[in-house]
Structure 1
Amino acid sequence: MSHPPQVALLGGGFSTDEDGLLDDWVLAQARTHRLKVCFLPTASGDAPGYAEKFLTAFRDRPDCEPSVLHLFDRKLGDDALRTFVLAQDVVYVGGGNTANLLAVWRVHGLDRLLREAYDGGTLMCGISAGANCWAQSSHTDSFGPLTHLPDGLGLLPGSVCPHYDSEPGRRRSYRSAVATGVLPAGWALDDGTGALFTNGRLTETVSRAPGAHVYRVVRDGGGEADERALPGRELRRGTGTAGRRP
Structure 2
Amino acid sequence: MEPENPLLDQYILGLSTKSQPKVCFLPTASGDSDRYIVKFYSAFLKFACQPCHLSLFNPPTLDLRGFLLQQDIIYVGGGNTKNLVALWRDWGIDQILREGWEQGVILCGLSAGSMCWFEEGLSDYTGNGMYKPLHCLGFLKGSHCPHYDGERDRRPVYHQMIAAGELADGYAADDGVGLHFVNGALVNIVSSRSTAKAYRVEREGGRAKETLLEPTYLGNLKNRNF
Please give the range of the TM-score, normalised by the shorter of the 2 chains: over 0.9
Deviations 1:50-69 (A, max 9, x none): 001101111232x2000010
Which stretch of structure 1 is more off in the superposition, 227-236 or 179-188? Answer: 227-236
Partner of 1:206: 190
> Following superposition, which runs of at least 4 residues in structure 1 exceed 3 angstroms of deviation?
none
Q: Counterpart in 1 of 2:161?
A: 177
Partner of 2:170: 186
Q: Describe the shift of the 1:217–1:17 C-alpha distance in structure 2 as closer, same or farther (beyond 3 A).
A: farther
**CA 1:141 to 1:240, structure 2 compared with 1: closer, same or farther past 3 Å?**
farther
1:54 to 36, 40, 52: 40
Tell me which residue corresponds to 1:9: none
Aligned residues: 222
Residues 181 and 126 (structure 1), Cα distance of their counterparts in 2 relative to 1, 3 Å cut:
same
How many Å separate the matches in 1 of 2:105 and 2:36? 22
Equivalent in the alignment of 2:21 = 35
Deviation at 1:192?
Answer: 1.2
Counterpart contact for 2:177–2:215, Cα < 8 Å: no
8 A contact 1:21–1:237 mirrored in 2: no
C-alpha deviation, 1:238, in angstroms? 7.1
* Unmatched runs of 5 consecutive residues or more in structure 2: none
State the partner residue of 1:108.
91
> Residue 117 of structure 2 corresponds to which residue in structure 1?
134
Other-structure match for 1:66: 51
Q: Distance in 2 between matches of 1:159 and 1:229?
A: 16
Of residues 7, 24, 47, the one that matches 2:10 is: 24
Q: Name the aligned partner's letter for residue 22 of structure 1.
A: L
| 1:43-91 residue CA offsets vs partner (Å, 9 max, x unmatched) | 0000000001101111232x200001000122421xx211110011100
- The 2-side partners of 1:181 and 1:32 are apart by 43
What is residue 148 of structure 1 aligned with on the other side?
A: 133
* 1:237 CA drift (Å): 7.2
Distance in 2 (CA, whole Å) between partners of 1:133 and 1:124 is 11
Which structure has more relative contact order (CA 8 Å, sep 6+)? It is 1
Q: Distance in 2 between matches of 1:240 and 1:50?
A: 32
Unaligned runs of 5+ in 1: 1-14, 242-246
Structure 1 residue 152: Cα displacement? 1.1
Normalization by structure 1: what TM-score?
0.87
Residue 129 to residue 69, structure 1, CA distance change in 2 (3 Å): same
Conserved 8 A contact 2:73-2:108: yes
Contact 1:21–1:240 under 8 Å retained in 2: no
What is the SS of the residue equivalent to 2:15?
Answer: helix
Match of 1:44 among 8, 12, 30: 30
Aligned residues of 1:25 and 1:240 also touching (Cα < 8 A): no
Taking the aligned partners of 1:230 and 1:109, their CA distance within structure 2 comes to 35
Structure 2 letter corresponding to 1:19? N
Give the alignment's TM-score, normalised by structure 2: 0.94
Q: Does 1:91 align with 2:92?
A: no
Q: 1:23 to 1:16 in 2, by over 3 A?
A: same
The Cα of 1:128 is off from its aligned counterpart by: 0.4
